[in-house]
């Protein structure tokens, strides 16, 4: 007795849908291309040269996802901005080394490919790449039946940037007395969403857009790096200010952060109130309104703040560097 023929589609994988998605995203990716890109979407690998302006170019790479913020995107059926978050998390990380993001790749995995949903996600990724000035040159779409609940997907992103070796930011120039500027966040960015979702389970309806995408600081900060001697940058992600600022400090220093130096956005006040979240937990989990920290010599703080504000950033002088004993730390006062 002959067995019935089975196709890949019968097993849950639709090759035609994957091909349709590739065609749908090609024009989106094309808008992000840089002069250095030699080959883009569709090949086995994407080719990209190095910008000729660098004499000793050093590549800087970063990878990240968007965490359980995806769960809110699923529940609200909103998929057009989550891709901006994906780019932001890696591009901002690459930026803190002083690097210019060069290109980006994404990984989209699902149980059943819905071309319209995936295209919305990639639309956001392309928009994020435009904001970061990097090229979307490739990625992977994986349709894996049985791996994900119906209507859900997972995302990962990979960013490569380039920096002149002599201009790598590693924090070694930071000294006691230096000033710390804080650049305002656009919301919770992509961190703390497991706690946010736990708070939402209590039934409160937030008067905020919890899917507001992560702010991308690349263009304004790169312009600042060309104008003034920045000593260090910290992307305020998981771990908050207390967990991220010490990552760029040399031994024998600590950061004193004045939380009264900036207004805490109502979103974080609401989360703290509705979740009865302790203050120490708030500053350890959320960015609390500051998405990027910039360390400079005191004389450069005001010119830097003016330049960043002219570039569209909201800026506060949030603290200073002081001598410390032992390992670097950040103290919020």
Q: Distance between CA atoms of 200 and 202, rounded to whole angstroms?
A: 5
Out of 22-36, 64-78, 96-110, pick the least confident.
Answer: 22-36
pLDDT, tens digit (0-9, with 9 covering 90-100), for 53-79: 999 999 999 999 999 999 999 999 999
Tokens of 98: 């002083």
pLDDT attached to residue 273: 95
Q: CA–CA distance from 257 to each of 302, 321, 326 (Å)? A: 17, 9, 18
What are the beta bridge partners of residue 294? Answer: 181, 233
User: What's the mean per-residue pLDDT of the chain?
Assistant: 93
CB 103 within 8 A of CB 158: no
CB 192 within 8 A of CB 67: no
pLDDT, tens digit (0-9, with 9 covering 90-100), for 178-187: 999 999 999 9
Q: Is the pLDDT of residue 144 over 80?
A: yes
CA 17, chain centre distance (Å): 29
SS3 for 233? strand
Q: Is the pLDDT of residue 1 over 70?
A: no
Q: What are phi and psi of 273, to 5 degrees?
A: -70, -50
Q: Distance between CA atoms of 230 and 104, rounded to whole angstroms?
A: 25
Q: Is the pLDDT of residue 138 over 90?
A: no
pLDDT attached to residue 281: 95
pLDDT, tens digit (0-9, with 9 covering 90-100), for 202-248: 988 888 899 999 999 999 999 999 999 999 999 999 999 999 999 99
pLDDT attached to residue 333: 79
pLDDT attached to residue 10: 66
| Model confidence pTM above 0.85 | yes
Residue whose tokens read 């703290």? 272
pLDDT attached to residue 40: 64
Q: Is the pLDDT of residue 14 over 80?
A: no
Residue whose tokens read 């901002």? 92
């Amino acid at each position: 007795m002959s067995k019935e023929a089975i196709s890949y589609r019968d097993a849950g994988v639709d090759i035609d849908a994957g091909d349709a998605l590739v065609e749908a995203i090609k024009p989106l990716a094309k808008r992000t291309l840089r002069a250095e890109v030699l080959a883009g979407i569709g090949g086995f690998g994407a080719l990209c040269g190095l910008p000729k302006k660098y004499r000793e170019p050093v590549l800087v790479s970063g990878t990240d996802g968007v965490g359980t913020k995806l769960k809110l995107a699923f529940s609200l059926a909103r998929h057009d901005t989550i891709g901006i978050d994906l780019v932001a998390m890696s591009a901002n990380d690459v930026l803190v080394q002083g690097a210019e993001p060069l290109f980006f790749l994404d990984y989209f995995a699902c149980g059943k490919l819905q071309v319209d949903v995936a295209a919305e996600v990639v639309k956001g990724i392309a928009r994020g790449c435009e904001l970061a000035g990097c090229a979307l040159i490739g990625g992977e779409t994986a349709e894996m039946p049985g791996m994900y609940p119906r209507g859900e997907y997972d995302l990962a992103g990979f960013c490569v940037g380039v920096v002149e070796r002599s201009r790598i930011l590693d924090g070694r120039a930071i000294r006691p007395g230096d000033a710390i500027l804080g650049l305002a966040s656009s919301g919770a960015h992509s961190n703390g969403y497991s706690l946010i979702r736990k708070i939402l389970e209590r039934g409160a309806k937030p008067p905020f857009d919890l899917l507001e995408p992560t702010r991308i600081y690349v263009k304004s900060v790169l312009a600042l790096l060309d104008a003034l001697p920045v000593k260090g940058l910290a992307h305020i992600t998981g771990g908050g200010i207390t967990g991220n600022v010490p990552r760029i400090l040399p031994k024998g220093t600590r950061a004193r952060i004045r939380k009264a130096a900036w207004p805490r956005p109502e979103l974080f006040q609401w989360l703290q109130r509705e979740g009865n979240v302790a203050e120490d937990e708030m500053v350890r989990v959320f960015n609390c309104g500051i998405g990027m920290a910039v360390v400079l010599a005191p004389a450069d703080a005001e010119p830097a703040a003016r330049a960043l504000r002219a570039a569209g950033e909201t800026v506060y002088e949030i603290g200073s560097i002081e001598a410390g004993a032992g390992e670097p730390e950040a103290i919020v006062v």
